[in-house]
A and B are shown apart, each in its own frame.
Chain A
Amino acid sequence: MRLLGRFRPKLHGSLIIRAVGDASEFSLTTRLFLKTYPWRRIDPVPCAPLRKPLRDARIAIVTTAGLHLPTQQPFDNEKRGGDTSYRVIPNDADVSSLLEAHRSETFDHAGVRSDPNLAFPLDRLHEMQLNLAPRHLSFMGSITAPNRLIKESAPEAAQLLVDDGVEAALLVPV
């Protein structure tokens, strides 16, 4: 397994454990970037309460792992500021066939490539026998200039899920 950064985390079998949610896995350069990047603040924070039991709610997965079907165009890794497009993954997709086209070099891609459920857990949600949406979405999260995401592709994606009657969404970064 390729490890990035000067400070190597402890290994427990296949798991890499670090303090919950801290940035110690990254190089100093990446950590400086994280400190100085102008993060977008969501304000006010919107809230759509789930008005029914989870079992009865229609659920979609949204990943930013850059996964796509073999028949779909990969994400554009050269696009300045990041490719804000998304791919539609049908609910009956074969998860093991998904390909990963994420451009970031700051993380180890081996896990998701060996098991896309790690960032797009469609098989897990099927096993849990939840009420799943007919379509799920995959973005590539390496978006440093998110204006197009905020103004165009996220609203378009939201409309697609609304059209499918989606009531709840699980979002998984990578």
Chain B
Amino acid sequence: MCNQAVSLIAAELERRGIATVCVILLREIAEKVRPPRALVVPFNHGYPLGAPNDAALQTSVIEAALALLERDDVPVLMERGRPRPQ
């Protein structure tokens, strides 16, 4: 449900002139709901930016998401690949 909620809020922000990007945990939901810009990540619910106390991983996901703000060919749905095994 969180994936739908961020998407619906994002749509309202875009209508008010704010560019948005959503981190998305379920690709299927994003395809149905259609947030304007979405980065689909390979993590479980509860772990949207990868892992707790892992600043490098969190930052890399954020950078990938923010890069989509340059796109205006909405809806944009991009996948972030799996992180390399440790």
Task: List residues of chain A with CB under 8 Å of any chain B CB.
Answer: 9, 12-23, 25, 34, 39-43, 45-50, 54, 57, 59-60, 62, 64-65, 82, 104, 106-112, 114-115, 117-119, 121, 123-125, 127-128, 139, 141-144, 146, 149-150, 154-155, 157-159, 161-162, 166-174
Contacts and interface: CB of A to CB of B under 8 A. Distances in A.
Contacts, number: 264
Contacts of B36: 42, 45-47
Interface residues of B, number: 70
Contacts of B11: 42, 45-46
Contacts of B20: 48, 168-171
Interface of B: 1-30, 32-36, 40-55, 57-59, 62-63, 65-66, 69-70, 72, 74-75, 79-83, 85-86
Contacts of A159: 16
Contacts of A158: 9, 12-13, 15-16, 18
Contacts of A65: 2
